[in-house]
Structure 1
């Protein structure tokens, strides 16, 4: 069966025109057969291949999409739209090194394209090229000072590199202009927390959760700020909210358990920390089925805290069990080794005393 009826009687111009008319009406499925006929009639029809690439992308057939975008560029390397579409697809597939050269072709054709510079920065940041990323984000902001996405992206890099004043200046610009979104408030919350200006940090983090009520990280940071200000009740509420929003969020569980421990609410701390570990063990089992080898080092502080809780409740058996798990992950912990040794001595003393009584 031919691709379209009466194929021999329909020329290239008619197929291309029909395809474009259907696309204007968002009828990509209807346009497909005419696009195929057009590129078969003219194998150098670059725009047709580009449109086929878009069609396949919309239908999540990424190998065919990539092939058609490449074919478009083979026919016309200067077709900027095909470079942009191919780069965007690579970016979505997290193939950052493949995306970057095509984004570069876009800005060579249009040096004023702020958003593409921002996307180039994203590719570099994801590829570990932080300085190149900062250069591209800066250029994006120079071209478009109100580009919040570029401002947020460069601020994240600056905060990571401890360039706090620079990040603060960029973010405050959007506050002064009254165009800040939740990400700006969230990052400013982090900035002020680092600067130990906890009232300001609380203000911006609250603004962040007002716009994004499912942001577990922001609730956790609110809790941490409240702890620093001795607002323990509020801190507890924020940590609980963070843990509810993300049951795999270690920091929230650790912070809540540590808060209870410092309040000598050891049983509450144990319940909290054990709940996290049950969830984690189930997740680790699923990950093991997919051969996903994740580092367990991050759980060591939680195991150590849980061991302290069991010790405080006079349960040396559980304390030893938990601390030995911690040591199996990170053996060179002298303080934990000494804590386990202390439990052994205590246990032996109890045994000797029991023999005397008998």
Structure 2
């Protein structure tokens, strides 16, 4: 017989939240020191935007088990979504130190620094996220952007190309790849190609439209 926690998780995955909450309530009553039950309860509350209640459940889980990586991670997500990036970064770091070692955790930690305009602090985490995934276009896009900001042109282009290969309709990745071609290797034709592909995907992409015009004028001179 699977545990009440396992049963609750299965119900959550089926969208049966009320039944899941009943099981988690039962688990907490029978095992008041079970951090996982509080985390799962908090995850349901967060899904329904019960932010303050969810926060209390995550904090309770952390008081019960200070090594509960999932509690730090879930609470970090809560703060990140509220644009409390500094607090989120601290909690993502604790999540990573306590066993949450997947690409998403490193990516969100990096993005917490990106959103504080701390590109150099973000870089190692975005790099680690890119090493742990082969299929997440957004990871390679954000890592490419960060590399471009610190003038690492060749690596920026490589990662932005990976983002575009994974998601051919990522207009912002296409646009920024065009900018990188223009700025780092002065390849106007490659830049125009990227801008035109971005415009195909998103006809009102103002920056790509502007970039294409500037590059065409440069070629005509």
TM-score (norm 2): 0.81
1:150 alignment partner in structure 2: 139
Using the TM superposition, name which of 115-124 and 35-44 deviates more: 35-44
| Aligned pairs for 1:55-134 within 5 A | 55-110=44-99, 112-134=101-123
Q: Indicate yes or no: 2:201 matched with 1:211.
A: yes
Q: Indicate yes or no: 2:185 matched with 1:198.
A: no
1:68: Cα distance to partner?
0.8
1:179 alignment partner in structure 2: 166
Give structure 2 stretches of 5+ with no counterpart.
Answer: none
TM-aligned CA distance change 1:72 to 1:111, over 3 Å: closer
Larger radius of gyration: 1
Q: Deviations over 1:226-281 (max 9, x none)?
A: 333459xxxxxxxxxxxxxxxxxxxxxxxxxxxxxxxxxxxxxxxxxxxxxxxxxx
Superposed CA RMSD in Å reads 2.9
Indicate the SS of the match to 1:184: helix
TM-score (norm 1): 0.53
TM-aligned CA distance change 1:43 to 1:128, over 3 Å: same
How many residues align structurally? 217
TM-aligned CA distance change 1:21 to 1:166, over 3 Å: closer
2:125 alignment partner in structure 1: 136
Give structure 1 stretches of 5+ with no counterpart.
Answer: 1-12, 232-358
1:162: Cα distance to partner?
3.2
Which of 1 and 2 has higher RCO (CA within 8 Å, sep 6+)? 2
Indicate the SS of the match to 1:97: helix
Q: Is the 8 A contact 1:140 1:147 kept in 2?
A: no
| Aligned pairs for 1:148-297 within 5 A | 148-173=137-162, 178-181=165-168, 182=170, 183-194=172-183, 195-230=185-220
TM-aligned CA distance change 1:158 to 1:32, over 3 Å: same
Q: Is the 8 A contact 1:83 1:105 kept in 2?
A: yes
Q: Deviations over 1:26-60 (max 9, x none)?
A: 21133334433442443322222112211111111
Q: Deviations over 1:160-211 (max 9, x none)?
A: 2333233123334566xx4353243221111123244222111011112223
Q: Deviations over 1:101-157 (max 9, x none)?
A: 322233234475222212111111222322121111122223335543232112212
1:35 alignment partner in structure 2: 24
